[in-house]
Amino acid sequence: LVRLRARLSRSQNTLGKGLLNLLSREHLDEDTWEEVEDILLTADVGVAPTQELVERLRERVKVLGTRTPDDLRELLREELLALIGPDLDRTVHTANGIGNGGDEIPGVVMVVGVNGTGKTTTTGKLARVLVADGKSVVLGAADTFRAAAADQLQTWGERVGARTVRGPEAGDPASVAYDAVKEGIAEAADVVLIDTAGRLHTKTGLMDELGKVKRVVEKHGPVGEVLLVLDATTGQNGLVQARVFAEVVDITGVVLTKLDGTAKGGIIVAVQRELGVPVKLVGLGEGADDLAPFEPKAFVDALIG
Ligand code: GDP
């Protein structure tokens, strides 16, 4: 929690402390509530959730009467937690699937998102977590568009002990993904992680490509998880991206990266609303250990302090 708190210090300072300070004011007038709203909007919580939360806070503060700092902290903790959804299933599904031939096949995870959001890094970090958990992992470098992506992924693979399947530069991403799962099946690996390309400028191209990658992989068997990687620092832009990806493939979970560098932690709420899928993992830094399961309670505790 100490580490989480340190990594989230920017969100903590603006969001957590900011809200507590405002709610501690002797007179909670309209201006104060507007400031509360501003803080939430600035943190990218989103318009509708912000209004809901302000409504709830107003109501509860009224009921509370006298406000001790502890009361306020507790109240804020409960309301933020409720907003984030403490009971959503945030498991990253990596269990074996049943292949189309009727045999067990590795769990398949596709990692999608716009270039620069931290897709390759996240794939590497996730491989590391899985390997540390005793699983054998095959990496598929299906981002054949960005020249360095396959090298970068392979470096991660070598570091964590996972084989990387790659194709020719600018080759067909779907065929690399297909080969990676084939390799995973041949090796009886536990999990295959597929890093994909994320070019947003031609939406149709992306649509065709990602859809094709998934369909081709599904010739082997089911894809257990499609993780969308979003850069938390891009705020509302990230939401626009999320929407485009969700139209292309069924996203099953979100990885929010670079939460360490932003005060916009509220994007967790907005993106879950937007996509109707939970944030499952968070990136809290560039280091190999900086990918963590998203735990709402720990997150809120870190924010409120
Ligand atoms: P890709 O193009 O989406 O595959 O992006 P990369 O994986 O190459 O990452 C882009 C940059 O973001 C790299 O410099 C990463 O180290 C950095 N990055 C990724 N995740 C995080 C994170 O959680 N926090 C921080 N601070 N940087 C990150």
Give the number of the atom of ligand 1 that is nearest the alpha carbon of residue 282: 23
Q: What is the rounded CA–CA span in Å between residue 133 and residue 208?
A: 35
Q: What is the rounded CA–CA span in Å between residue 298 and residue 191?
A: 28
Cα 150 to middle of ligand 1, angstroms? 15
Cα 120 to middle of ligand 1, angstroms? 7
Instruction: Check the annotation: does 118 bind a ligand.
Output: yes
| Radius of gyration in angstroms for the set of CA atoms belonging to the chain, rounded to a whole number | 21
Instruction: Check the annotation: does 197 bind a ligand.
Output: yes
Q: What is the rounded CA–CA span in Å between residue 301 and residue 23?
A: 17
Instruction: Check the annotation: does 116 bind a ligand.
Output: yes
Give the number of the atom of ligand 1 that is nearest the alpha carbon of residue 113: 3
203 pLDDT tier (thresholds 50, 70, 90): low
Cα 117 to middle of ligand 1, angstroms? 6
Does pLDDT of 127 surpass 90?
yes
Give the number of the atom of ligand 1 that is nearest the alpha carbon of residue 115: 2
pLDDT tens figures, 156-191 = 999 999 999 999 888 899 999 999 999 999 999 999
pLDDT score of 305: 77
Strand, helix or coil at 240? helix
Kindly tell me the sign of the dihedral angle through the C-alpha atoms of 295, 225, 107, 174.
negative
202 pLDDT tier (thresholds 50, 70, 90): low
Amino acid at the residue 183:
E
pLDDT score of 57: 96
Instruction: Check the annotation: does 260 bind a ligand.
Output: yes
Does pLDDT of 258 surpass 90?
yes
User: Between vectors from CA 196 to CA 192 and to CA 200, what angle results, nearest 5°?
Assistant: 160
pLDDT tens figures, 64-104 = 888 899 999 999 999 999 999 999 999 999 999 999 999 99
Give the number of the atom of ligand 1 that is nearest the alpha carbon of residue 125: 20
267 pLDDT tier (thresholds 50, 70, 90): very high
pTM higher than 0.90 for the full model? yes
Q: What is the rounded CA–CA span in Å between residue 164 and residue 161?
A: 10
Residues whose CB falls within 8 Å of the CB of residue 59, separated by 6 or more in sequence, listed in order: none
* Ligand 1, CB within 6 Å, residue ranges: 113, 115-121, 149, 257-258, 260-261, 283-286, 290
Nearest CA to ligand 1 atom 12: 118
- Tell me which residue of 257, 246, 277 sits closest to 117, measured CA to CA: 257
